[in-house]
Structure 1
C-alpha cells in the first residue's frame, strides 16, 4: 500500500494522539477530571483522523464495517471540548447525568448510520462508499450540513464561554496571564475555521456537484491533525499546573458581583479607606494580588469590596490595580533613568510585557519608552 505525505501526516497525528492518551492514563494524571475529559477528546479526535486515513488509503473499501466508525466517535469531540473547557475553568466542576445531553449528536447520527449503512448487505455498503463525496458522511447534503452546523455551534459556544470567563477573571485577579485559557481559545478558533472550510466543501460537493480530490481531503486532514495534536501537547498538559481553575469561593464571588444592588454611602466610605490603604501600603506592587487578599487587608467582605470598585469606580479589579501600577511605572520611568524599562515593569507590579504595554498605552497614549523619552526631553528644555 502506497502512503502519500498526507497519509503519513495523518498516521503520525493518530500515533501522537495515542501516545498522549497513554500518558494521560498514568496514575499521576488520570485523577484530574480535566485530564480524563482531555483523554476522551484526544481519542475522539484520533478516531476522526482514522476515518480520513481509511478514506485516503482505500482501506475503507476492504474493511467495510470500519467505515464511518471514526466519524461517529469523532462527533463526541464537540461536547467533550465544551466540558473540557468547563473543567479547566472551575475546580469544583463535576460531571452529572445531565451532561449526557452533549452526546446526543453521536446517538442520533449513529442511529442513522446503523439503518442506512451497517444493517445493509456488503454489496450495498461498498456501493455507498464508492458514491460518497467526502469521508465519513453518507451521500446526504442535509445530514452533512446538520453535522457541521451542530459541531460549529458547539465550538462557538465554547469560545464564548472562554471569552466570558476571561472577562470574569478581571473581577478577581490583578494578574490574569496564563489564566484566561487563551491557548484553548486560539485552538478552537482554528478548529472552527477548519470545520467552516469543511462545510463549504460539503456544500460544494452536493449543491454544485464539484469534487475535491482525495489528496486535497487527506492533506487538509493531515495538516489539521498534526497542528491540533501538537498544539495540545504544548499547552494542555501544563494548564492544570499553571492554573487549576476558580475555586468554589471565587465562583460564588463572581455570582455575587453581578448583584446590582447599590449602597452609595457605604461604597463611598469603603473607597476612601481603599484609597488610603493603596497609598500607604502599595499592595499593587504584589504581582499576584487578588481581590480576596486586598479585602483581608482591609478587613472587609470580598463581596463588598468588589461591589464598591465595580459600582463606585466603574472598573473591575484588574483595571483598578492596573491603574495604580501604571502610575507607579510612570513615576519610576522618570525618577531613575538608569533603570531598564523591564525592571520598571517588574517593580511596578506587572509581570507580563504585553499586559504592561497595553495598560500603559491605554492610560497615556504612549509606550513606556516613548513616555520616558518625552518626559526627559521636556525636562531638558
Structure 2
C-alpha cells in the first residue's frame, strides 16, 4: 500500500470515528453536531472511495463506481448549514433546496448506477468508451457537473465566510467578551476549505494538462514539469484529510461543539435590526412601567427607534448603573443580562451605546474594565497583571492586553512601570 493510500485510510477512518462521536453528542434542540457529523461522514466516504480507486478495488466491485460523486454537492451546503446553526439562536429546518443539486445528480445518474458490470468496466478501463450510457456519464461530468460544482462550492464558501464575519460584528454588539464564541477556529477551517477548493481546481487542471500532453495537443512544458505533476499525489484528497484533522483539533478545543451550542439560545447572534426592534417592542410596555427613570420612551416611539434626546436619557441611566453596580466585573456579561438588570429593552440599550458612546457593547464595557484595571495596577503593585486582569472582568490575559493597549496606547506592564518610575 502506497503512502498516499495510508494517508487516505487513516483520514477516512478517523473521520468516521469523529462523525460517530459528534452524532453521539448531538443535542436535539441544537443540531449543530449532527450537521457537522454528516459533513465529516461525507468527506470520509469520499476518502475511502479514493482509496479503493487507487488500489484497484473498483475493478472487483464495479458497482461502487460513481456512487460518491453526488457528495461534491453536499460538502459546501453542510458547512453552510453548520455555520448558520452556530451563528443563529433561532431553530431552523434545513431547506431541501440546499440538497437539490445532489438529489438531481443522483436521479440523472440512475441509468449508469443500474447498468451492467461490463458497461462500468468499459467506462473505467477502456481507452474509448463503447457504451452510450458510459459515454453520457463521462460527458455529463466533464462538461456539466464539474464546472457547476466549482461554481456552487465557491458560492457557498463565500456565504460561509460572509456569515462568520457578520457573526464577529454581531457578538461585539451583544457580548463583553469574545472567547469561545467568536468562532475563530471555524473561520480557520473555512479558510482551509477554501485552500482545498483551490487544490481541487488545481488537481483537475493537472489532469487536463497531462491528458493534453499525452494526446499531443500540448508539446511544450510537458517534461519535466508534467512528469512531476503526474506523480500519484491526489492533492484534493490530501487536503480533505487535513481538513478532517483540523476539524478534530480545533473542534475538540471548542467545548461548545461537543457539549452545547457555541452561541447559546439566550443570544440572538444574527438578528436583524427589525427583529431586535420587534422583540423590544413586545417587552416595552412592561419594561417601561417598571423603570420610572426612562418614562420618556412614550407610546408614540413604540414602533420606531429612539431619538437623540431619548438615547441620551437611556445612556445616562446606563452610565449611572454601570458606575454604581459595576456589572463589568462579570467576565461573561452580555447585553441581555444588562437589559434585564436595568429593565431597559436591549435594542434601546444598544442604540444608546452606539449613538452616545460611539462604541459597540464590547468596547463600551471593556473601557470600564480598563479603568478598573488601571486603578488596581496603581493600588496593588504586588499583584500580578494576570490576577488584575481577572479581577477587572477580563476572561483572558490576551483580551486584557488588547483592550488595555487599545484604550491607553500602552501595555499594562508599561503602565505599571510608569507608575513606579514617574520621572521616565
Q: Same fold (TM over 0.5)?
A: yes
CA contact (8 A) 2:89 2:267 kept: no
SS at match of 2:402: helix
Q: 1:341 to 1:254 in 2, by over 3 A?
A: farther
The equivalent of 1:125 in structure 2 is 120
Tell me, yes or no, if structure 1 residue 247 matches structure 2 residue 247: no
Mapping of residues 228-377 of structure 1, within 5 Å = 228-231=246-249, 234-235=252-253, 238-239=256-257, 241=259, 243-247=261-265, 250=268, 255-256=273-274, 261-377=305-421
**How large is the Cα RMSD of the aligned pairs?**
3.0
Structure 2 portions without partners, runs of 5+: 129-136, 214-225, 278-303
Q: 1:314: Cα distance to partner?
A: 1.8
CA contact (8 A) 1:145 1:202 kept: no
Q: 1:189: Cα distance to partner?
A: 0.9
TM-score, normalised with respect to structure 1? 0.85
Match of 1:45 among 43, 46, 51: 43
The equivalent of 2:80 in structure 1 is 82
Q: Distance in 1 between matches of 2:181 and 2:251?
A: 18
Match of 2:106 among 99, 103, 110: 110
SS at match of 1:215: coil
SS at match of 1:95: coil
Greater displacement, 254-263 / 178-187: 254-263
Q: Distance in 1 between matches of 2:138 and 2:6?
A: 23
Match of 1:66 among 64, 67, 73: 64
The equivalent of 1:93 in structure 2 is 91
Larger Rg: 2
Q: Distance in 1 between matches of 2:138 and 2:246?
A: 22
Q: Distance in 1 between matches of 2:407 and 2:266?
A: 34
Q: Distance in 2 between matches of 1:240 and 1:230?
A: 11
Q: 1:195 to 1:102 in 2, by over 3 A?
A: same
Which whole-Å deviations, capped at 9, do the CAs of 1:39-72 have from their partners, x for residues lacking one? 2212211112122212222222332221222232
Q: Distance in 2 between matches of 1:329 and 1:242?
A: 32
Q: Distance in 2 between matches of 1:86 and 1:30?
A: 16
Q: 1:101: Cα distance to partner?
A: 0.8
